[in-house]
Amino acid sequence: YTNQSYWQPYSNSNSSPFRETSHEPEVFVLFRNDWEIFGWRNSVSALGFNHQSNGRPVPLSRSWNRLYANFVFDHGDWLISFKPWYRIPEKEKTNPLQADGDDNPDILDFMGYAETRIMHKKNNRVFTMMLRNNLTSDGLGAVELTYSYTLYANLKGYVQYFNGYGESLIDYNARSNRISIGVAISDWL
C-alpha cells in the first residue's frame, strides 16, 4: 500500500494543508532472478495488480486499475527498472456526475503505457531518472529527476524535479513543473 499526499499549506482558498491524497493498494508476486543480458543482471521481476484512487467524490474522483509487470536489471552501481502496464477497462459513464463508471477515460493519453527508472548509486547518494511516455509524437508523458542522500541511518533527504503529466491523479491531464525537497524513510537503492 502506498499513500502519497501533496501538501499545500499556503493556499487557504483551495484546500489547506493537503491538495490531493492518492491511495494505491496493490497485490504482486516477486520473482528473484539471476540471468544476464549484455552484462545486466535481471535481479527481480514482478507481476501485479494495482488500484490507484484519490478517494474523492464525483466530479473530482479519479481512479484506475492496472495489471503490470516490472523488470529490474542491475549492473554495478546502476539499476534500470522497466514497468509496462495494461489498464483494466471500465464502463463508460452516461452522466459525468454518476458515481460508477470511468472517471478518467483518457488517462492513458497522459500516463502512457509504461515507465522506466534509471538509478545510479555513488557512496550515500542516489541519482534517479523516471521517464514516462504514451508512445506517440504529441509529447505527453513525464520526466522526474531525483537526488537523494543519507541524513542518518535509513533517513534520506532528497531534491526532486518533475516536468510533465500525471504527477497527481487530480491533475493527471495538466502539465506541471515543480521542484521539491523532502525526507524519505527508504530509497530504491
The Cβ-side half-sphere exposure at 166, using a 13 Å CA radius, reads 24
Distance, CA of 2 to CA of 189 (rounded, Å): 18
- Our answer to whether residue 186 is catalytic in this structure is no
- Our answer to whether residue 53 is catalytic in this structure is yes
Largest Cα separation within the chain, whole Å, is 55
For residue 133, give the DSSP letter.
E
> Cell triple for residue 181?
525537497
The Cβ-side half-sphere exposure at 13, using a 13 Å CA radius, reads 0
- Among residues 43, 45, 51, 61, the one annotated as catalytic is 51
- Among residues 53, 61, 120, 168, the one annotated as catalytic is 53
Residues with catalytic function? 51, 53
